[in-house]
Chain A
Amino acid sequence: MLNPKTKIMKYDLIIIGSGPAGYVAAIRAGQVGLKTAIVEKDTIGGMCLNWGCIPTKALIESAKFYNRLNDAAEFGIEGIDLKKLDFNWPKAVERAYKVVNKLTNGVEFLLKKNGVEIIMGEAEIVGEHEISINNRTIEAENIIIATGSLPERIPGEGSNLDIRALYKMQELPESIAVYGHGPVSVELAQLFNLLGVKTFLITEHEKTLIPQGDQYLNDFILKKLKSQGVKIQKNLPSKDVPVLNASLRKAILPAIKPEIDLTDDGFAQTNLNLQTSIPNIYAIGDVNGRSYLAHVGSAQGVFAVNHIKGIEKQMDIRSYPLNIYTVPEMAQIGFTEQELQEEGVEYKVSEMPLSINGKAMTEGDTEGVVRILSEKKLGEVMGVQIIGPNATDMIAEAAAFIEMEATIYDVARTVHAHPTVSEVFMETGMEALDKAIHK
């Protein structure tokens, strides 16, 4: 007699963690016919969907809307008493979570549709091929760790805010200290500042708030934050000010019996195939410390599954866009000027401001610029930086140009619809050829 309870389930692949790295890997694995399970101890979608990318952007939209109302009269809207305007944080969070729930449900649907089994619980790797969840052991040919990372607690006495705690606040604090530099810190500092919270940004790197960003973007955002009243300083203010760490990150690793090698910072050590020191155990996303960007984690997920399927290719994604959801938004792709200088590439910078653009004027928001860095001899588009209300969407066009090794001639030749803010991109391509029309 076979007792079904003792029967060990066997999978081709088990993925631990359902953030943008894990769930994308799981769907891809389902697509290529691997018997796949994904293990999640908290909520489908991980940090990005539940506390990071998505809800923060929803809150930033609320903040932008709130600020925009100051211009209502100018746009011909009357009857708004600016003195009575108030920001209801829990309401804004509620709206953010409507979006989040829709998306996590969507992810769950996609996982099931692709035949991925979802197992809720905390996974423990107990052997090279064995995982224990809720005292039940399952086996897998391959394991992918996609457990992500969390900001560390700041040493010191002040009250530390976990990013997840933000969504439970009943009202906005009077002041807040956002700790560390990097895109998330900058975004959050500006968010609170726009909502009228006295905001400190605690960093020793005020000249490079976006470490991987072009200096042009860094100079711009530093000036912008200062003009908006964000206090940028090296030390924490008084103990009364709550501290929110959005920078220092620590890997979240599951318990692993056969130990895997870790980096000096405690992240899972991986080779170029994203394999850990145990070859059938992969680590993707934040947990390997290579990048904290959701879209990079997703790309790594697809790559790792391909590798498991024997599709051996170098990670050949040529360039990742970097988006910063500030007001105005900033985005970049490809090489920065500093990188081009280091590489010794002879390049040309072409810039066109949004202030010349009709659509931007109608929107009442002309702050921004498009910059194209092109190689001098062949005119290859090497890097693009955009500042503007929709920079994070506009960068997609530049990403395609760079992925396809396009030149400024291609940019200048591509007809852009009028009126659009994107016209500035084409105009910058023409400017690179010294043929800008609207200059």
Chain B
Amino acid sequence: MRHIFKFPDIGEGLDEGTIVEWYVKKGQIVEAGESLVKMETDKVVTDIPSPRDGVIAARYGNEGETINVGDPLVEIEMEGVEGEAAQEESKKIDEGESSKIENVEEEAAGVVGTLESAGNNAFLPASDEGISVTETDEKSSQKKTIATPVARALAKELNVDINEVKGTGPGSRVMKEDIQKYADSGSKNASNRGNRMVDEGPRVRIEPMSQMRKTIAKNMLRSKHNAAHMSVFDEVEASELIAIRSRFKDKFKADEIKLSYLPFIIKATALALKKHPNLNSEMDMENSKMIYKNYVNIGIAVDTEDGLLVPVIQDADKLSIREIAIKVNEIAEKARKRKISMEDMKDGTFTITSFGSIGGKFAVPVINYPQAGILGIGRMAKQPVVKNDAVVPGNILPLSMSVDHRIVDGGEVTRFLNQIMEYLGDPINLIMD
């Protein structure tokens, strides 16, 4: 029997994904759970596992191509299931289909929704000709452009999509020269429309939006549309924090743990959230309900080459500074290797964005909706402060916080921020509370 595995919806509201890398070839034996393909989906690059044991009979889409949710991804020829047994098997699985939809993380309101293992009517009887048949099926689904062999070879060489090129040969056949001209002109065509001088070059560069950019745009807009943003700014004198951090820095370094200020801030925020559960909640307006989370998962906004990612440190309130530091190190390493997975990003309850590492002082951060708030950390700087009526050098850490004013009121936000400042101003409180 042949199982058609369709591209599952692995994220919320996801409708397409881009194939980054195939791990399997046609004819390869796979086991259920083995990674089939790496997809760049909504907000993440993730591996899609095989739902069945069997042999890959067909693969759909090449690396770089976009696949819609519900479109076939692979066909898996299942071994040892033939004839009546196969029909039985087919029935069994068809019946069991609804239960096959795994609820991956029911309590999660975050990124991950449901994972569909097999679509409807996902079974086709295997043909006698086996694998070779699906090869032709695969081909016939693609539009065939008439082109000379050299034009095809050249298009491949110059990375030109031959379907985009207008053929000037007999019967509109795409010739070598057409490819050459297309490659030479490139985006110049777009700019020459208005009788402009050719050598001025293009005024704009038009590129397709990446999946990640699309998602970021969608999420930002959703947050701004739905949450009632309100921001508070403050500064904390952090000389004590600096002292503690420098004391432990080398000690941690011996264990190859890099200790920045971030683990302290995460810990401080997590503990403050425990004291102010309103900020660790979300609002379900439709059902007129408030959802208070009894766990504290802190998302850390990470600036990557591809765009903004928010990996999450689970149960940050229960972790020591050292444990948090290890998690932060892991996240940095994964971000560098572009290996942050869907799993790493799910189910945050509050977010910290540390733009100060790049240089900003204050900002108005956008809430990672539907969370209730986001804390922005600015650049720490030496500044004159007044202590005991004397101006002395101080170390100022600027804090910017945005909250959803629907959920929390100004007084509570200020009290929450004060709590964080207390922790950071005198870090001993982090272990005393």
Q: Which residues of A contact B (CB under 8 A)?
A: 377-380, 404-407, 409-410
Contact = CB atoms under 8 A, between A and B. Distances in A.
26 contacts: A377-B157, A378-B150, A378-B153, A378-B154, A378-B157, A379-B153, A380-B149, A380-B150, A380-B153, A380-B176, A404-B148, A404-B149, A405-B148, A405-B149, A405-B150, A405-B151, A405-B175, A405-B176, A406-B148, A406-B149, A406-B150, A407-B149, A407-B150, A407-B153, A409-B149, A410-B149
Contacts of A407: 149-150, 153
Contacts of B153: 378-380, 407
Interface string B148-191: 11110110010000000000000000011000000000000000
Nearest to B148: A405
A437 B305 CA distance: 52
A378 B175 CA distance: 14
Interface in B79-133: none
Contacts of A406: 148-150
B411 to A, nearest CB: 73
A270 B154 CA distance: 35
Given A404-B149, A405-B150, 9 more contacts: A378-B153, A380-B149, A380-B176, A405-B148, A405-B176, A406-B150, A407-B149, A407-B150, A407-B153
A379 B151 CA distance: 11
A379 B149 CA distance: 10
Nearest to A379: B153
A380 B175 CA distance: 12
Contacts of B148: 404-406
Nearest to B168: A316
A407 B147 CA distance: 13
B121 to A, nearest CB: 39
Contacts of B150: 378, 380, 405-407
B175 to A, nearest CB: 6
Decide if the interface of chain B is mainly helix, strand, loop or mixed. helix
Contacts of B149: 380, 404-407, 409-410
A354 B149 CA distance: 28
Contacts of B154: 378
Q: Count chain A CB atoms within 10 A of each CB in B150, B157, B175, B176 and give the residue with the most.
A: B150
Contacts of B157: 377-378
A348 to B, nearest CB: 15
A197 to B, nearest CB: 47
A228 B162 CA distance: 54
Contacts of B151: 405
A406 B152 CA distance: 10
A192 to B, nearest CB: 43
Nearest to B153: A378
Interface of B: 148-151, 153-154, 157, 175-176
A409 B175 CA distance: 17
B180 to A, nearest CB: 11
A406 B150 CA distance: 6
A99 B208 CA distance: 67
A194 B130 CA distance: 63
A394 to B, nearest CB: 21
A87 B344 CA distance: 96
Contacts of A405: 148-151, 175-176
Contacts of B175: 405
A379 B176 CA distance: 13
B174 to A, nearest CB: 10
7 nearest A-B residue pairs (beta carbon): A405-B148, A405-B150, A378-B153, A380-B150, A407-B149, A406-B149, A410-B149
A306 to B, nearest CB: 14
A25 B152 CA distance: 35
Nearest to A404: B148
Nearest to B173: A404
A130 B149 CA distance: 49
Contacts of A378: 150, 153-154, 157
A378 B179 CA distance: 13
B171 to A, nearest CB: 11
Nearest to A375: B150
Nearest to A382: B150
A246 to B, nearest CB: 36
Contacts of A404: 148-149
A174 B256 CA distance: 104
A377 B153 CA distance: 9
A26 B175 CA distance: 31
Contacts of A377: 157
A406 B151 CA distance: 9
A380 B148 CA distance: 10
A377 B149 CA distance: 13
Nearest to B156: A378
A321 B154 CA distance: 25
A380 B150 CA distance: 6
B152 to A, nearest CB: 9
Q: Count chain B CB atoms within 10 A of each CB in A380, A406, A409 and give the residue with the most.
A: A380
A380 B177 CA distance: 13
A376 to B, nearest CB: 12
A405 B176 CA distance: 7
A407 B154 CA distance: 11
Nearest to A401: B149
A404 to B, nearest CB: 6
A410 B152 CA distance: 12
A95 B154 CA distance: 52
Nearest to A405: B148
Contacts of B176: 380, 405
B182 to A, nearest CB: 15
A405 to B, nearest CB: 3
A280 B4 CA distance: 67
B254 to A, nearest CB: 56
A404 B153 CA distance: 13
Q: Count chain B CB atoms within 10 A of each CB in A404, A405, A410 and give the residue with the most.
A: A405
B181 to A, nearest CB: 14
A405 B153 CA distance: 10
B179 to A, nearest CB: 10
Contacts of A410: 149
A426 to B, nearest CB: 16
A407 B157 CA distance: 14
A10 B151 CA distance: 48
A378 to B, nearest CB: 4
Nearest to A411: B149
A181 B154 CA distance: 40
Nearest to A413: B149
Contacts of A380: 149-150, 153, 176
Nearest to B174: A405
B172 to A, nearest CB: 14
